[in-house]
Structures are given as structure tokens and as C-alpha cells.
């Protein structure tokens, strides 16, 4: 590592050159970013070392199409802090904007890539009626036509970048743009991560009302694992003894109903009964997270589905009173999914 023409082992708040040996060529792409910043599991904490690093070199490489491709990718894959000002009426709500020297008559929407960039705004702790929101770039693009002329990333440093309407259109026309932003981890992320975090907390604290030292049993689709992690974190935060998962997968269920015999499907093993009985003995509470479309199994043999349901119900008959008689808390919530969105908004599918 070179700093001020000298070989050093560490440096702080200085520009350095890192020389890599040939063993790195196999996995480092052109314009790769090397960073010590670790992503936080908390969805309300935003870190974008990739975008921040790429922006720093814009002046050097802006004519290189490969660099521009990397920049567009990082812009699309990043999430941003926005400062929102609230008012007594909904129409009074607005996001922070600035006016730039290139056209002082027009408002430009402000985005921040991380906490460091946000704290460079000197009035952050002095203004009233201010709140932070986390949004992806597609959501930010949707805000522009109504009130803003363009977007500026990190206007107060460390490196600012303006997304003009022309560049915005260029990004939106990139092949795969919608796919990059439509799905992340299986469930729709078009809503702010902060909203999912609020729903997770609401489900734990108000919905199922997890008590200290009480187990929480969650039933959810495998594609919703990110949201499940949020729920688990909230459960442990209020003192849950343990979080027990029952994962579901519609596609796997279809395969089971298609290829397993009815005899196999209706052979409910004793361990499933013992597992549920243990949960009841420990005083567990139950949360089901729904995101699958109703009728997802309509194309499989319905006689097999009914046979399995009857066999399972018979096996668990004496345990059903735990939830049916409200001996333990239970709650069912729904979260968005791509399948639901296609049904509700077919014109946008």
C-alpha cells in the first residue's frame, strides 16, 4: 500500500494506492471496489461502498463505457437516505431538495449514500419535522416528475453526482433494469425496507404479542427469508426464548403432490406430532406469514391434497385446541409478492 510515495501498512483519511499481485486477477473485475465497510443486517442502515467508490473516480473514467456500465449498476443496486419534511397535511410533506448553480430556478431531489454523507448536511440535527426514509433508485425516479427537475447524490460530499432526466432515461432503458429492482431475496422490495421493518415489529409486538422467554413459531415461504429474519430479530429483541421455523415452498409442494403416492402423503410421522406438542408444552405463540397466491395448488390432484389434509388433521386432532381455544397466541399476516402484484395490477405485469 502506497501513501505519499511511501510504503505503509495503514492510512487514515488519506488517498492510497493498493498494489495487488497476479493471484487477484481471477476474481477482481475492472473498476472493482475494495472496502472495509461491512453491510449491516438492519434494513434502516444504508451503506453503499461500491457506489461511493465508483463516484470518486467519475472525473477520470467518465468517457469509458465499461465504467459507466459499472456506475449504472451500482446506482440501481444501492439504496438511499432521503430527508422528508412532514406537515400537518399530507400535501405539506416534501423531500429535501437543493438548487444548483447550473439552473438555480429548479429543485433537485437530494439522495445520500450513507450516514457519513448524510452528516455532512450541517442542519441535520437542528431542523424540526424531519424524518429519514430509505428508498431504492426506482422509487426515487418516481418522485422526480411531480416536483423535481433531477437528482443529486451526496450534494455536500464526499463526491456529488447529478442524475439528469436524460441520464435517468438512459438507466431506465438499460436491459434488465426492471428485473434488478423488482425482486430481491424473493419478495418485493419496492416498498422501503423501513416499512418491512415496521411491519415485522408490529407483527411481533402487537400481532402475536411475544412474551419474554416464550418460543415463537413462524410459518413462511422460503422466498420470504429476508422478512423472516426481520421478524426473528424483533422477537429476540422482546425476549423470545427461541424462534422455530416452518418453511414452505409452493413449487416443492406441487412436486410432492405430483410424484408421491397417496399412501406416502398420508403417512404423517410421529416426530411431527411430538414437535408440535413440545411447542405447546413450552407455551409457544404462532405467526403465519402469507405471500402465496390462493389456488397455487389448483393444478395438482385435489384428491391427494384433501387426503393429506385429512390425515394431518386427524394426527394433530388433540393438539388443535391450543390455537382453536386461544390457549396460545397466534396471528396471520400478509406481505406483498410478485404473484399477488400480477393479479392486482395485471396491466403492469
- pLDDT single digits (tens) 86-142: 765 656 578 899 998 878 888 999 999 988 898 888 776 666 667 788 888 988 998
Q: How high is the pLDDT of residue 183?
A: 44
Extended strands (E) in 137-214 = 150-153, 161-163, 183-184, 187-188
Low-confidence winner among 4-18, 63-77, 166-180, 333-347 (lowest mean pLDDT): 333-347
Could you tell me whether strands 130-136 and 79-85 are parallel, antiparallel, or unpaired per DSSP bridges?
A: antiparallel
Which letter, b or e, does each residue of 99-109 get, where b requires 16 or more Cβ atoms within 10 Å of its Cβ? eeeeeeeebbb
Handedness of CA 180, 134, 46, 144 (dihedral sign): positive
- Condensed to tens digits (0 to 9), the pLDDT of residues 269-313 reads 999 999 999 999 999 999 999 887 766 787 888 889 888 988 988
Q: What are the helix (H) ranges across 203-337?
A: 225-237, 250-259, 262-265, 270-281, 302-315, 321-324
> Quick check: 260 pLDDT over 60?
yes
User: Half-sphere exposure (CA, 13 Å, Cβ side) for 28?
Assistant: 12
> Quick check: 47 pLDDT over 90?
no
Q: How high is the pLDDT of residue 336?
A: 78
Mean pLDDT of the chain: 83
- Does residue 158 have a cis peptide bond before it, meaning omega lies within 30 degrees of 0? yes
> Quick check: 6 pLDDT over 90?
no
- Condensed to tens digits (0 to 9), the pLDDT of residues 243-259 reads 999 999 988 999 999 99
Q: How high is the pLDDT of residue 261?
A: 95
Average the pLDDT over 208-216 and give the result. Answer: 96
Q: How high is the pLDDT of residue 31?
A: 77
> Quick check: 68 pLDDT over 60?
yes
Q: Which residue has the cell 390432484?
A: 301
> Quick check: 37 pLDDT over 80?
no
Average the pLDDT over 324-329 and give the result. Answer: 82
d(CA 327, CA 216) in angstroms, rounded, equals: 14
Q: How high is the pLDDT of residue 191?
A: 47
> Quick check: 190 pLDDT over 50?
no
Query: What's the pLDDT band for 208 if we cut at 50, 70, 90?
Result: very high
Average the pLDDT over 257-266 and give the result. Answer: 94
Q: Which element (helix H / strand E) includes 219?
A: strand 216-221
Highest mean pLDDT among 97-101, 118-122, 237-241, 327-331: 237-241
Query: What's the pLDDT band for 184 if we cut at 50, 70, 90?
Result: very low
Average the pLDDT over 67-95 and give the result. Answer: 82
The neighbouring-strand residues paired with 289 are: 333
Phi, psi of 222 (to 5 degrees): -60, -30
> Quick check: 12 pLDDT over 80?
no
Q: Which residue has the cell 390455537?
A: 323
Amino acid at each position: 500500500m502506497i501513501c505519499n510515495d511511501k510504503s505503509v501498512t495503514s492510512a487514515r483519511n488519506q488517498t492510497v494506492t493498493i498494489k495487488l499481485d497476479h493471484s487477484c486477477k481471477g476474481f477482481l473485475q475492472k473498476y472493482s471496489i475494495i472496502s472495509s465497510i461491512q453491510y449491516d443486517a438492519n434494513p434502516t442502515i444504508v451503506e453503499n461502498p461500491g457506489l461511493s467508490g465508483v463516484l470518486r473516480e467519475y472525473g477520470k473514467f467518465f468517457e469509458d463505457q465499461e465504467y459507466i456500465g459499472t456506475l449504472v449498476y451500482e446506482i440501481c443496486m444501492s439504496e438511499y437516505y432521503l430527508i422528508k419534511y412532514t406537515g400537518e397535511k399530507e400535501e405539506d410533506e416534501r423531500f429535501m431538495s437543493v438548487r444548483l448553480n447550473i439552473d438555480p430556478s429548479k429543485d433537485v431531489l437530494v439522495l445520500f449514500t450513507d450516514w457519513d454523507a448524510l452528516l455532512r448536511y450541517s442542519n441535520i440535527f437542528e431542523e424540526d419535522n424531519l424524518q429519514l426514509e430509505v428508498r431504492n433508485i426506482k422509487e426515487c425516479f418516481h418522485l422526480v416528475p411531480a416536483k423535481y427537475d433531477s437528482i443529486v447524490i451526496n450534494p455536500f460530499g464526499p463526491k456529488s453526482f447529478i442524475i439528469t432526466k436524460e441520464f435517468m432515461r438512459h438507466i431506465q432503458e438499460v436491459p434488465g433494469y426492471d428485473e434488478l429492482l423488482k425482486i430481491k431475496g424473493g419478495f418485493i422490495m419496492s416498498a422501503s425496507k423501513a416499512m418491512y421493518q415496521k411491519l415485522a415489529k408490529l407483527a411481533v409486538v402487537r400481532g402475536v404479542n411475544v412474551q419474554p422467554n416464550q418460543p415463537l413459531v413462524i410459518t413462511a415461504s422460503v422466498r420470504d427469508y429476508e422478512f423472516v429474519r426481520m421478524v426473528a430479530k424483533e422477537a429476540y429483541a422482546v425476549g423470545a426464548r427461541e424462534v422455530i421455523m416452518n418453511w414452505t415452498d409452493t413449487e416443492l409442494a406441487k412436486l410432492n403432490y405430483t410424484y408421491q403416492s397417496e399412501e406416502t402423503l398420508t403417512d404423517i410421522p410421529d416426530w411431527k406430532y411430538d414437535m408440535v406438542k413440545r411447542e405447546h408444552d413450552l407455551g409457544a405463540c404462532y405467526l403465519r406469514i402469507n405471500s402465496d397466491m390462493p389456488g397455487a395448488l389448483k393444478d395438482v390432484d385435489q384428491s391427494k391434497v384433501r387426503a393429506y389434509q385429512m390425515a394431518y388433521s386427524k394426527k394433530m386432532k388433540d393438539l388443535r385446541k391450543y390455537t382453536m381455544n386461544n390457549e396460545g397466541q397466534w396471528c396471520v399476516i400478509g406481505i406483498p409478492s410478485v404473484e399477488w402484484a400480477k393479479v392486482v395490477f395485471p396491466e403492469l405485469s
